[in-house]
Structure 1
Amino acid sequence: MWSRLVLVLRTSAAWGGLGLLIVLFIFEGLFRSSPPNIVPFLLMLGTFFAAMTAFSHIHRVRLIDQPVNSTTLANRHRRQIELPLDANAAFALIEASIRELPGAERVDSAADSLQVRAKINRIAPFQDEFWRKWPVTQWLTGGDNQIYATVSPGVDACSVMMICEPTRAGWTDWFLLDSGVNLENALALGRAISRRVAELRKNEKAAAQQTVTEKELTVAKLNLLHAQVEPHFLYNTLASAQILTRSDPASADHMLGNLITYLRHSLPKTEDTPSTIGVELERTRAYLDIMKIRMGSRLQVQIEVPDYLKPVLFPSMMLQTLVENAIKHGLEPQTGGGTIWILARAHENNVALTVADDGRGFSVEGAGTGIGLRNVRERLRLAYGNTASFGIVANFPNGVAATINVPTTFIQGEHHA
């Protein structure tokens, strides 16, 4: 209440005092005569219109912002906003918010000093087209406005100081009122900033949720690809063991022992427990021992894997998949069988694991469905992106050589050169 009364009295007194000084200067200073009787009436009329202007200003401020006090009634407004962003992101957000304000004509920004200045064309809320043509009327209604914003960097956040004010000098605030236009600009800018911050948070939350979803889909897809490899091998092994129990119980017992070893290495692991070349080699040895019982002297195996490479992280089941494909499509179709080579070599920051055979090679008769090799490529893409590769070429003089390249990453720092 007191702030409104003070504004009315201040504006009326300012205009009344200015009018009185003009009258005294003109009539007593220049003409050395007393003012005519109409002058007091004109002074009272001007004071009345000044008071009405103040009341109009108060009414509009109440419409814009319910709390009417000395801060909201002022022509110039300062806002301090804390943003949970780095300085560059906050500067871009402030600049974009100012550019979208109604009437923004000129926006000057300096990214290095984190400052933004803007001129805002004033849209007078109570001025019709007739009075808009008069320059004096335009000056009396306040003129254009401006916005000045500065971003102060912090550690985890930053502070933004904004000033919304008329372009005219500060002393004119005693005589001229802006009808709450700069208050409206300050509130609009605050809303724009809040909306943009909320949109950023929403996008970050959506991106995080998408990342979680993609990770879950990747894990599910890897599990599905993994599951596609094992069943037929297990069925064939159990069927072979069943047959051997009748004809060769000792071999059946040896086959079941290797199957137990194989299954022990194939038990599902937690997502954070990756496999290694050493673990995969043990699993593959058990698989090859089973196949040697089934194929006899038709299968020969040579393994050259340095001990220091065994702790290197390696996708589970991939080595066994390559060996299985080499036997099934390369050696088994041949009457005399053949040899499987498993080689591991380190090169710069990568490890190359090769499975080669001297079987039938890329022949029509030896070709399969290709599901196993497609699974290898897809799992490498999901697990490593572009940092891993898979290649398969003809072996000399016969057979096929398949190589998987993965980054050299040792489990738990076990690096034994």
Structure 2
Amino acid sequence: MISSTFHLGRLLLAWVAAYMAIFITMHEAWLEQFDIHMEGYIVLFGFLLGAWVLSVAFSHVRRVRLVAGELNRSTLSNRQRRQIEIPFEAGEAFDMIDAAIRELPGSVIADSARDSLQVRAKVQRIDPYGSQSAYGWALEHLSTRHNQILATVTPNGDDAGSVTLICEPEGPAWTDWFLVDHGTNLENAEAIVRAITRRVAERRRSEQAKVHQTVTEKELTVARLNLLHAQVEPHFLYNTLASAQVLTRSDPARADEMLGNLISYLRHSLPRTEDVPSTLGEELERVRAYLDILKIRMGSRLNLQLDVPDALKNVLFPTMMLQTLVENAIKHGIEPKPGGGTVWVLARAVDSTVAVTVADDGRGFTAEGGGTGIGLRNVRERLRLAYGSAASFSIVSNFPSGVAATITVPLAVQGGGIQNA
């Protein structure tokens, strides 16, 4: 109440003071020119002027109350200032404030400089009472015609920007003693603040949705990897147990040796979750235990050549994939060949990747069912799920016979990070 009364009194006082100054200045000139006394008319005109000013000022006060819900020095002012903290870096904060100002009704961007993080705009003041209002002529002639906006973004660290927003009439400050804006700059300031708040909320919801989607996709990927793992491991295990069962009946000593190798194989296989990589050294130990089992069964028909530098044995490598390639080399290459053959396991670091190759000199792709079973399909699918495009799998004919299969994955040492190729 005190603020609105002060505001009304200030406007009335300013106009009366201006009117009296004009009267005092012109009084003597009027007497000399017209030789009449105008005091009565001047008092009457002053009274009418005061009533007009009060009616316009009262309209301004009432509209500000409708817009802001309260009356104080800040809301009644023609010039509005806001400090907006945006939790994004200065460039993104500038884009948000620039877009919010552009979407303001009646705004025309006068200057938008991203380098200096500053936006200037002109805003055509919309008559809140309409041009058909019975007293529109009075309100229009005692109000500001145009408004302007200045927004400056100040970087506040690497992940925040502070916006200083100024909404004011297009005129010097002294005109505020005589003119009102009917709350239009208050509306502009509040509209921009609401727009920024909405955009920040939308950005947060979008980020949360992406995080939720990422978590869901990761859970789905782990589930699919576990399913593939469940398809492959029993295949190895059942074949080994079947061989051990046969040897138990024919050669107990060799069967006991095979079961010892089976225990070593299982020790390197269980337990492990599929989304946790093994190391190339651990996978080699598993392969060696598996091949020792087969060596007992196949004798001199199976030979093994390993060429894996010690420096690469701590490199992270997908679980069971090396075993899958060795098992396929035996099943589809060496076993069908009458004289048997050799399996090579080689590893090389190439730039920021490690390439592991399993080759054999068996029957190759001409053999029935050679190298096209579920094991190799699972290798491709598991690599795609675990590494995306960062890993690859290739299988080609070996010379002079056999097959060479190569898995290439990003080079990452146990306890370290992945180095991109």
Please, what TM-score do these two structures have when normalized by structure 2? 0.92
Contact 2:225/2:274 (8 A) holds in 1: no
Shift of 1:337: 2.2
Partner of 2:95: 92
Partner of 2:312: 309
Report the residue type matching 1:362 in the other structure.
Answer: F
The Cα offsets for residues 54-107 of structure 1, whole Å up to 9 and x where unpaired, read as 111111011001121011001001111222221111111111111111111224
Partner of 1:331: 334
Distance 1:61 1:287 in 2: 85
Partner of 1:287: 290
Which deviates further from its counterpart, 124-133 or 369-378?
124-133
Equivalent position to 1:48, from 42, 47, 51: 51
Partner of 1:372: 375
Moved over 6 A (4+): 130-134
Q: Structure 1 residues 35 and 24 mapped into 2: Cα distance closer, same or farther (>3 Å)? A: farther
Partner of 1:13: 13
Q: Structure 1 residues 263 and 107 mapped into 2: Cα distance closer, same or farther (>3 Å)? A: farther
Contact 2:167/2:188 (8 A) holds in 1: yes
Partner of 2:227: 224
Unaligned runs of 5+ in 2: none
Partner of 1:145: 147
Partner of 1:388: 391
Distance 2:110 2:102 in 1: 7
Distance 1:340 1:76 in 2: 84
Partner of 2:247: 244
Report the residue type matching 1:230 in the other structure.
Answer: E
Equivalent position to 2:174, from 171, 174, 177: 171
Residues 1:350 and 2:353 aligned together: yes
Report the residue type matching 2:148 in the other structure.
Answer: Q
Partner of 2:4: 4
Give secondary structure in 1 for the equivalent of 2:268. helix
Contact 1:131/1:137 (8 A) holds in 2: no
Distance 2:4 2:369 in 1: 96
Residues 1:259 and 2:262 aligned together: yes
Shift of 1:390: 1.6
Unaligned runs of 5+ in 1: none
The Cα offsets for residues 337-362 of structure 1, whole Å up to 9 and x where unpaired, read as 22111112233333221111111111
Distance 1:128 1:175 in 2: 22
Report the residue type matching 2:235 in the other structure.
Answer: H
Which deviates further from its counterpart, 104-113 or 177-186?
104-113
Report the residue type matching 1:323 in the other structure.
Answer: V
Which deviates further from its counterpart, 313-322 or 229-238?
229-238
Partner of 1:321: 324
Residues 1:191 and 2:191 aligned together: no
Give secondary structure in 1 for the equivalent of 2:116. coil
Partner of 2:156: 154
Partner of 1:233: 236
Give secondary structure in 1 for the equivalent of 2:179. coil
Report the residue type matching 2:99 in the other structure.
Answer: A
Contact 1:85/1:158 (8 A) holds in 2: yes
Report the residue type matching 1:332 in the other structure.
Answer: E
Distance 1:413 1:149 in 2: 46
Give secondary structure in 2 for the equivalent of 1:344. strand
Partner of 1:117: 120
Contact 2:226/2:274 (8 A) holds in 1: no
Residues 1:403 and 2:409 aligned together: no
User: What is the RMSD computed on CA atoms of the aligned residues?
Assistant: 2.3
Shift of 1:133: 11
Shift of 1:380: 2.0
Give secondary structure in 2 for the equivalent of 1:266. coil
Residues 1:79 and 2:76 aligned together: no
Shift of 1:247: 1.6
Give secondary structure in 2 for the equivalent of 1:411. coil
Equivalent position to 1:128, from 128, 131, 155: 131
Equivalent position to 1:103, from 84, 94, 106: 106
Give secondary structure in 2 for the equivalent of 1:230. helix
Distance 1:364 1:312 in 2: 34
Partner of 2:205: 202
Give secondary structure in 2 for the equivalent of 1:116. strand
Distance 2:210 2:280 in 1: 35
Partner of 1:59: 62
Identity in percent: 62
Distance 1:159 1:349 in 2: 42
Shift of 1:158: 2.5
Shift of 1:410: 2.0
Q: Structure 1 residues 106 and 307 mapped into 2: Cα distance closer, same or farther (>3 Å)? A: closer
Shift of 1:394: 0.6
Distance 1:304 1:128 in 2: 91
Count of paired positions: 413
Partner of 2:22: 22
Contact 1:300/1:339 (8 A) holds in 2: yes
Distance 1:114 1:353 in 2: 53
Distance 1:106 1:403 in 2: 60
Q: Structure 1 residues 213 and 107 mapped into 2: Cα distance closer, same or farther (>3 Å)? A: farther
Q: Structure 1 residues 413 and 18 mapped into 2: Cα distance closer, same or farther (>3 Å)? A: closer
Which deviates further from its counterpart, 144-153 or 306-315?
306-315
Shift of 1:363: 1.8
The Cα offsets for residues 273-293 of structure 1, whole Å up to 9 and x where unpaired, read as 531111000000111112223
Give secondary structure in 1 for the equivalent of 2:6. helix
Contact 1:333/1:366 (8 A) holds in 2: no
Contact 2:332/2:367 (8 A) holds in 1: no
The Cα offsets for residues 295-331 of structure 1, whole Å up to 9 and x where unpaired, read as 3332222212222221111111111111111111112
Q: Structure 1 residues 187 and 130 mapped into 2: Cα distance closer, same or farther (>3 Å)? A: closer
Give secondary structure in 2 for the equivalent of 1:34. coil
Q: Structure 1 residues 270 and 31 mapped into 2: Cα distance closer, same or farther (>3 Å)? A: farther
Report the residue type matching 2:5 in the other structure.
Answer: L
Distance 1:352 1:412 in 2: 20
Please, what TM-score do these two structures have when normalized by structure 1? 0.93
Shift of 1:372: 1.6
Partner of 1:296: 299
